[in-house]
């Protein structure tokens, strides 16, 4: 299989993975042959792209970090909670600690089982339902970093809950404020900044939040250099939860389609975070995130600096930036491989860019 952005999808291609709509229903199914109408629907719905079957890359399989059922189950459960919060005019909606844990713990256990595996997959979520998909992906990233840092199990559970509901205060903002194109006015930005305190207050009252969990929600917009909000905390005065959720929040936003820009590829998003290391983000957390994500996920088409087109055949957890590549021109019956990690002959081979399709 290989991954193509929506710009590279054409009539006749066969899907290699299901595409789900914002309600977590299958909108396009594995094996489906795309029509022109299907391609237009995919573009209109704002999917960043799709994985397709390709006879020239039939041995390449891109695997999400957790199962499809577990991921979309968590998204649906989270969507239901956030929707109830959004419509809770009496501020009386409650979610028990057990109810919170039921979403987080299965995801945590699945991640622990695969703790030596990179996040090596492009999330093919639709544009709609951003809040729900974002909440779950921030939780997955935060838990994965927490596992990397060897945090105790119960602390991971608390961080998972905190990260899952880090943006719940956004439910109290005017509809459409965060999704419309254009720069916010100063007044609107002041309104947006209030979402962390409003969200924290709601969670403390209705969700049985511990102090550690509240810190993650309240501090995920604090910057490492003290320029963030709401309290302009600096460096280690920001809690570990706050520092971890901050970078996961931004990373997932960067790799997601937004009203004002297309989704970034992982390598570009990671470069943005590295540029902000020791300024906006804790450098240790930046490095932890960098070590668990494949910048060029398996199945992606890339161009080498030498000009050759290749598909990423495999990524190595011990060295995410040096994958195994397969030469690709859409015709070769016998694949030629370039092992950037293990073969000294290719130690100086460099990837120039991602590609939407063969040029």
Note the pLDDT tens digit of each residue in 201-213. 999 999 989 999 9
**What local confidence, expressed as pLDDT, does residue 190 receive?**
78
Domain 1-61 shares a fold with domain 68-292: no
DSSP letters, 133-183, are HHHHHHHHHHHHHHHHTT--HHHHHHHHHHHHTTTGGGGGSPTTTTTSSSP
Nearest to 100 by CA among 158, 152, 172: 158
CA distance 253 to 243: 16
List of residues 6+ apart from 327 with CB closer than 8 A: 308, 309, 310, 335, 336, 337, 338
**What local confidence, expressed as pLDDT, does residue 111 receive?**
97
Calculate mean pLDDT across residues 156-162. Answer: 97
Superfamily per CATH, domain 1-61:
Molybdopterin biosynthesis moea protein, domain 2 (3.90.105.10)
Digit-coded pLDDT (tens) for 118-144: 999 999 999 988 899 999 999 999 999
Calculate mean pLDDT across residues 161-169. Answer: 95
Q: Decide which of 261 and 52 is more confident.
A: 52
Nearest to 49 by CA among 255, 254, 267, 252: 255
Residue percentage of the chain with pLDDT more than 90: 77
Stated pTM of the model = 0.94
pLDDT at 177 exceeding the cut of 70: no
CA distance 214 to 201: 9
pLDDT at 181 exceeding the cut of 90: no
pLDDT at 34 exceeding the cut of 80: yes
The confidence band for 332, taking pLDDT boundaries of 50, 70 and 90, is low
The confidence band for 268, taking pLDDT boundaries of 50, 70 and 90, is very high
pLDDT at 359 exceeding the cut of 60: no
The full set of domain ranges for the chain reads: 1-61, 68-292, 300-359
Which of these CATH numbers, 2.40.37.10, 3.40.50.2300, 1.10.3210.10, 3.40.50.1460, describes 68-292? 1.10.3210.10
Nearest to 253 by CA among 168, 164, 134: 134
pLDDT at 76 exceeding the cut of 80: yes
**Mode of pairing for the β-strands spanning 301-304 and 309-316:** antiparallel
The confidence band for 357, taking pLDDT boundaries of 50, 70 and 90, is low
């Amino acid at each position: 299989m290989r991954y193509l952005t929506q710009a590279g999808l054409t009539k006749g291609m066969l899907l290699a993975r299901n595409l789900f709509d914002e309600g977590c229903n299958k909108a396009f199914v594995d094996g489906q042959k795309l029509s022109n109408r299907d391609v237009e629907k995919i573009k209109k719905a704002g999917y960043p792209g799709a994985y397709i079957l390709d006879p020239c890359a039939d041995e390449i399989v891109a695997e999400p970090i957790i199962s499809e059922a577990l991921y979309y189950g968590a998204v649906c459960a989270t969507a239901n909670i956030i929707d109830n919060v959004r419509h809770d005019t009496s501020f009386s909606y409650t979610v028990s600690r057990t109810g919170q844990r039921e979403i987080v713990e299965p995801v945590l256990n699945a991640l622990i089982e695969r703790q030596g595996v990179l996040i090596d997959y492009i999330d093919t979520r639709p544009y709609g339902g951003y809040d729900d998909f974002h909440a779950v992906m921030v939780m997955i990233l935060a838990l994965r970093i927490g596992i990397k840092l060897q945090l105790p199990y119960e602390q991971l559970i608390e961080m998972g809950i905190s990260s899952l509901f880090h943006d719940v205060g956004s439910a109290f903002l005017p509809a459409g404020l965060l999704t419309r194109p254009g720069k916010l006015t100063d007044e609107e930005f002041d309104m947006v900044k209030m979402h962390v305190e409003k969200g924290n207050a709601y969670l403390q009252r209705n969700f049985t939040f511990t102090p550690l969990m509240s810190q993650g929600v309240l501090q995920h917009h604090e910057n490492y250099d003290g320029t963030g909000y709401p309290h302009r905390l600096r460096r280690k005065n920001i809690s570990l939860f706050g520092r971890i959720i901050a970078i996961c929040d931004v990373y997932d936003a960067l790799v997601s389609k937004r009203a004002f820009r297309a989704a970034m590829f992982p390598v570009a998003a990671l470069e943005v975070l590295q540029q902000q290391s020791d300024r906006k983000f804790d450098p240790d957390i930046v490095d932890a995130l960098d070590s668990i994500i494949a910048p060029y996920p398996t199945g992606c088409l890339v161009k080498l600096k030498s000009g050759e087109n290749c598909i990423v055949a495999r990524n190595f957890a011990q060295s995410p930036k040096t994958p195994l590549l397969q030469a690709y021109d859409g015709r070769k019956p016998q694949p030629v491989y370039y092992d950037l990690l293990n073969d000294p002959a290719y130690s100086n081979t460099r990837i120039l860019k991602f590609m939407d399709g063969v040029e």
